[in-house]
Amino acid sequence: MLLKLNFYKEDKKLSKKTFYVTTPIYYVNAEPHIGHAYTTVIADFLTRWHRLAGYDSYFLTGTDEHGEKIWQAAQRAEEEPQAFVDRVSTRFK
């Protein structure tokens, strides 16, 4: 009876392989540089390649907007820390 109701029917979405890739969490005490670009391009390539190979692929990245170095960089820029990280982190997107 359960088989007739299709309770055991395979869900193709759930049967796909999954691939996750992340970049380092970028620290926004300064502008992005070539090292940031390198790791981001490699992660993007891997995500796209796995997606073409049939995986559900997820590319995750982010920024670290906390800490003493952020506060010091904001002071040097003569900005409030929140305004500083809001401005600099947009360059990472």
pLDDT of residue 6: 55
Q: Which domains does the chain have, with CATH numbers?
A: 18-92 (3.40.50.620)
For the chain, 93 residues long, give each residue's pLDDT as a single digit of tens.
Answer: 545 555 555 556 666 799 999 999 888 888 888 988 999 999 999 999 999 999 999 999 888 888 898 899 999 999 999 999 888 888 877
- Cα Rg of the chain (Å, integer): 21
Structure tokens at 11: 């869900």
3-state SS, one letter per residue, for 28-57: CCCCCCHHHHHHHHHHHHHHHHHHHCCCEE
Query: What is the DSSP secondary structure assignment for residue 7, as one 8-state letter?
Result: T
Measured in residues, the chain has a length of 93
